[in-house]
Structures are given as structure tokens and as C-alpha cells.
Amino acid sequence: MIIRGRIPGRQGLWELSYVKEMVESLSCKDPSFAEEHCRWITPGLFDLQINGIAGINFTDVSLDQAQLERADALIRSGGVSRYCPTIISCSLETARAVLGTFSRAWDNGRIPGAWAIHLEGPWISSLDGSRGIHRTEHVREVSLYEWGALNQVAMGRIRLLTLAPELPGALDLVKSAVGAGTIVSLGHTAASAADVTAAVRAGARMSTHLFNGCARLLDRHSNVVYSQLSEDGLYACFIADGHHVPFATLRIGIRAKGVAKSILVSDLAHLSGLPEGDYEMEGNRVELRGGGLRVKGTSQLSGAARTLREDVELLAREAEPGIDSALLMATRSAAAAVGDLAWADLQAGRRGPVAVFSWDGLHLLLEERLGF
């Protein structure tokens, strides 16, 4: 198949030939082409945080391989070629069971889009606000033994770990996880600036859904958001669904980190893709409405309901950062954060999926999925 379009982060109009799940050739046909309303050729989107989809909960003890296979197909149908199934704070028994199911699904080739596990908790702040929707009873003290046991069940596939660096023993866990090849991300935290700096020195390199998972009221000068924005060693993940962060605030975050260190994530909840209405989630009655998911009768968010493609679309409608940067934050930035830039670089001889989107200034449509 021959496809013409722009490539995020590159100038000009490009022509790509895709044969037998490989980029056979790639060449620039018009170096001066700068139109944004056109086709965009990508390796597919890379979502570092998906908690489930269409009623399939990745932290459900009854999860089975057939459900994982269906979820994987649904996620990839939206143009996401790589993602991290995310397991939130839960009991040790549930975590073992879920990780075991994922390991078997991987071994059986049933979840080709899943890159690695994102373990979000249980070593997070127990404070209201910082804890988010995570259940208090599942938030625990840091345990190096538990970390090792869970990663063993996962066959070393926990490649992203979200924790609160202010917890006793957290820095030792950062060092242990990094030593095992896991990227440590700071999130659901009430950390001081000193805690954040110490975590970065210990090896932490990312912030989980920055501007969220923290107290609603913060000191206007010294707070957990600014301390992470100011750390050049941290990539920052943002949710651009129009509910989690106002776009004016989001622009500030992206300016502070730069596009190269800003990552878009969906944080999809397992209720995403279901009809609007009321549901039970993590012991709460929640309302799915207008692309948002909140605890009923409150303003508290309970995960997200919009896909990464929808988030890119919403962010790209803003004059800043625009479609080129929005796509980069959903592809290349994520790949760079996990140390796999080769995945994001389209070039002749590259094997793997290709997703082609069209952009008209308002809508980002998925036109082609090749090699998915």
C-alpha cells in the first residue's frame, strides 16, 4: 500500500510504501509542504495508562484471557498500537491473580498491543485528594518483598510503576524497581519538593497524570505540581480529555516540560465505551456523562472515558500546541520515556504497525490501520 501524508515531527510531504507488515520505502516528496489539514502517518498511538474498556476491568480478580483479548482488539481498533494495561491499588491476592492472567495471555499471544504492565499503587498517598479513586483499604506501606513477588508473577513485565515518593521506604523501592528495568513514575502523592528531588536522584523519571492525583487545594508557590514541573529529569503525563485539566492549565504544563517530555495518556476506566448512565466503581456510585466519569453528585473524577485519539483531537483543536505536537505527545514522547525511540521512528525496513489519521482542524479520524 502507498500512503502520502505528513509525519509528526518532520517537515514535508512523505510517501510510505507498506508491504507485509513492514515499511518497504519512505521518501520525502515535497520538503516545502506544511499543511496541517491532511493525512498524518504514525506508528500508532502509545497509551501508557489504560485501566480497562467496555466493562472489562484490568483490576478484576475474575479477569480472564478472553476478556483481555477482546479489550486488546477494542483498544487497537482506535489506532492505539501500544499500551500499558494498568492495575490500580488492590489486595495482594487480586494483584497476583490479575498479573498471572496477563502473563498467560501474553504467553499465548492474545494481547499483541500490550507493551507492559503499569502498576499504579498500592504504594501511594492515603490522603483524600491525593489518593483519588483508589480504595483506602488497598493503600499499603512500601514493601520490597511485595514488589519483588508481584514482578515475579508478572514475569518481569511490570515496566511502569507509580508511587508516592514521600512514603517511608519509597526511595529504596525506586532504586529496586529501576534496577529491575522498571520506569518509576511519581503520582497520587503529596510529596514535598525535597521528596521529588530525592526520588529523581534515586532514578524516578516520570510523573503520572500531572495536575491530578493531588490535593484539591495547594500552596500557590510551593506544591507537588510545581516541584515536578521544575524537575528536568521527569517526563510528565497529562490527560487531555477536557475534564481532568483545563486546557489553559495544560498549556502551562506542556510549555514547562516541552513537547519532547510531555506525554498524553487516556487513563481510560473500564466503564469507557459503555452507554451513558450510572455505574458502580471502586465502591462508589459513578456517573458516565458527556465524555467524563465522576462520583455521582460530586466533582470527583473517577478515571476517564475518552480514548487517546479523542484526547489528541481535543488538544489539537487548541491553537497551541496543535496537531503535530499533539500527535508527538501520543507517540514519540511516550516511546522516549520508556527508552524505545526506535519504535516511533518511521523508516524503511521498520517492522510493525502503522496508523494513518486525517485531520481537518476539528476531527481526527483513523483512516488506515496497517499491521495491527
Q: Which of 54-63, 159-168, 277-286 has the lowest mean pLDDT?
A: 277-286
Written as one letter, the residue type at 280 is E
pLDDT band of 321, cuts 50, 70, 90: confident
The angle at the Cα of 42, spanning 40 to 44, to the nearest 5 degrees, equals: 125
Query: Which value, to the nearest 10 degrees, does the dihedral of the CA atoms of residues 175, 178, 180, 186 take?
Result: 100
Asked if residue 152 and residue 263 are part of one domain, the reply reads yes
Backbone angles phi, psi at 188, to 5 degrees: 50, 60
Contact 83, 118 (CB under 8 A): no
Asked if residue 21 and residue 85 are part of one domain, the reply reads no
Asked if residue 119 and residue 32 are part of one domain, the reply reads no
In the beta sheet, which residues pair with residue 301? 294
Per residue in 240-290, pLDDT (tens digit) is 999 999 999 999 999 999 999 999 999 999 999 999 999 999 889 999 999
% pLDDT > 90, the chain: 95
Asked if residue 208 and residue 172 are part of one domain, the reply reads yes
% pLDDT > 70, the chain: 100
Asked if residue 361 and residue 295 are part of one domain, the reply reads no
- For residue 262, the enclosing domain spans 44-342
**Nearest in space to 231 (alpha carbons), one of 249, 251, 210:** 210
Domain total for the chain?
Answer: 2
Asked if residue 169 and residue 85 are part of one domain, the reply reads yes
Q: What is the model's pLDDT at position 282?
A: 87
Q: Is the pLDDT of residue 319 over 80?
A: no
Asked if residue 81 and residue 31 are part of one domain, the reply reads no
Q: What is the model's pLDDT at position 128?
A: 92
Q: Report the C-alpha gap between 98 and 151 in whole angstroms.
A: 12
Q: Is the pLDDT of residue 6 over 90?
A: yes
Half-sphere exposure of 27 (CA within 13 A, CB side): 5
Asked if residue 26 and residue 9 are part of one domain, the reply reads yes
Residue 362's Cβ-count burial label (10 Å; 0-12, 13-18, 19+) is exposed
CATH of the domain at 146: 3.20.20.140
Q: What is the model's pLDDT at position 66?
A: 98
Element (H, E) at 61: none
Element (H, E) at 184: strand 183-186
Asked if residue 251 and residue 159 are part of one domain, the reply reads yes
Backbone angles phi, psi at 125, to 5 degrees: -65, 140
Q: What is the model's pLDDT at position 216?
A: 86
Q: Is the pLDDT of residue 318 over 90?
A: no
pLDDT band of 320, cuts 50, 70, 90: confident
Residue 269's Cβ-count burial label (10 Å; 0-12, 13-18, 19+) is buried
How big, in percent rounded to 5, are the helix, strand and coil portions of the chain? 30, 25, 45
Asked if residue 64 and residue 192 are part of one domain, the reply reads yes
Asked if residue 65 and residue 4 are part of one domain, the reply reads no
Grid cell digits, residue 26 = 519512505
In the beta sheet, which residues pair with residue 288? 277, 293
Per residue in 104-156, pLDDT (tens digit) is 999 999 999 999 999 999 999 999 999 998 999 999 999 999 999 999 999 99
Average pLDDT (176-198) is 97
pLDDT band of 291, cuts 50, 70, 90: very high
Average pLDDT (48-55) is 98
Between the alpha carbon of residue 125 and those of residues 53, 101, 175, 337, the distances in Å are 26, 27, 19, 24
Q: Report the C-alpha gap between 140 and 91 in whole angstroms.
A: 9
Asked if residue 357 and residue 233 are part of one domain, the reply reads no
Contact 133, 282 (CB under 8 A): yes
Per residue in 211-244, pLDDT (tens digit) is 999 988 898 988 999 999 999 999 999 999 999 9
Contact 266, 273 (CB under 8 A): no
What are the contacts of 14-17 at 24+ separation with CB within 8 A?
14/41, 16/41, 16/346, 16/354
